[in-house]
Amino acid sequence: MKLETIKSFILIFLIGTSLLLTFGMWNYKPSIELLSDAKPEDFSLNGTEESIRTLIEPRQIVFQVLNQHYGFKNPVEQSDFFKEIQQWKLYNFELEKIEDNNRAHDVEITFPTPLPMELLDNIFTFQVNNLELPIWSFDKVYLTLDKELRVIRVEFPSIDGRDKAVAVIQDRKNYEELASYLEKQDLRKLSVFKNGNDRSIYIPEGPIKLTRQTKTFSKINPNNLVDVLFSDPSIVRQSNYTNLGTTYFTDSSQMSVTQDEARIEYISPGSINENQEPLFAEDLLNKSISDINSYQGWTETFKLMDINTNENVIRYQMYYSGYPVFSPLSIMEQRWGQRLIEYNRPLFRSNNSLSDNEVTLPSSDEILDYLKQNYKLEDINDIQIGYQLNYEKDENIIVYEPSWFIQQQINKEWIPINPKENEK
């Protein structure tokens, strides 16, 4: 074979190979796109999924018997009882004007924040669908036994005291069950304290024994939340500051991790400039819950703490053993527009128990005496028993410390109080 013929074959082979490589490059898609596109479906914090019905629970349920007040000894029992009430079917829903604010009721259910009436059929069960609900809000529900008709009358008063919605629970079994609670079986007597707004606050009498719990915790990797919060994680940059923590950022969004790695604070300033209109409460809740559910972000027990439709802000509070946890690390907060604008949440998950010690809290009489001596009673908005959360990064433990707490009128902040500490 002549040399020229061999050269021609080699040239044709090289040209063909070049064409094949060029075609392959045109049709090649780098794997990095697959990584960023996969995160909404594949990513999980391995928490739970929640709903409006599971996230909204009362702050307190009070039974009134012969001018005395009683409550559950254990908040878990209260939660179980409320879940039962949510299943009771309500009939004859109507709207009325309030004519008498001093009517006696058998049961008073109080929620931690005013709830728009549009949420009512998400919380309770009604005989009919598509109720025409008013635009006002409520934070209490009253139940009254009608002993003549043997039904339960239900009232949802507006927070301004002008209007109310009424309904009837007709099931005889529900009537008998509520009547059995009013016989004071396994209930604790409550003392009454009038706050600065002349609202009655009910606090448990007698010795209160709770457990001081020490647990290990595992950290939630902030890189996982980068995958959730940034639309294109591949362009996110990272900066580390010794005294401030770590910041992940793009030109339009930023996520900061606190120095102790216990919390993230996310903000998307670009979204603030978009047209922001107040959302309906149901829409705001559904946006927030759907977002957190999408990556199973309920890594502890959380309940609705506050919903502000004027600012499109929603807050959830951590609970432990049925009691609220008071700490900056116990709050999950979101602000919404068309998209998520701000998001703050804890970065840890409680694990195994290392120790538990029984703690006897001061009695209600001791607390009230202490408050009268050290505070202006008109400055106190609320009183509750709960847990203080102590996060100890270096030892990899969190401590749930039981305590009494008061909420002040001015700043609405919760602070722990202990009369016995002043005696030391």
| Domain covering 221-346 assigned CATH 2.60.40.4070 in the classification | no
**What integer pLDDT is reported at residue 186 of this predicted model?**
84
Q: Express as a percent the part of the chain with pLDDT over 90.
A: 71
**What integer pLDDT is reported at residue 11 of this predicted model?**
52
**What integer pLDDT is reported at residue 154 of this predicted model?**
98
Closest CA to 299 of 330, 256, 261, 325: 330
Strand order in the sheet with 60-65: 125-126, 89-97, 163-169, 151-157, 137-146, 107-116, 60-65, 68-72, 187-194, 200-204
Domain spans of the chain, in order of start: 52-185, 221-346
**What integer pLDDT is reported at residue 160 of this predicted model?**
93
Q: Which residues of the chain have pLDDT under 70?
A: 1-42, 271-275, 422-424
**What integer pLDDT is reported at residue 156 of this predicted model?**
98
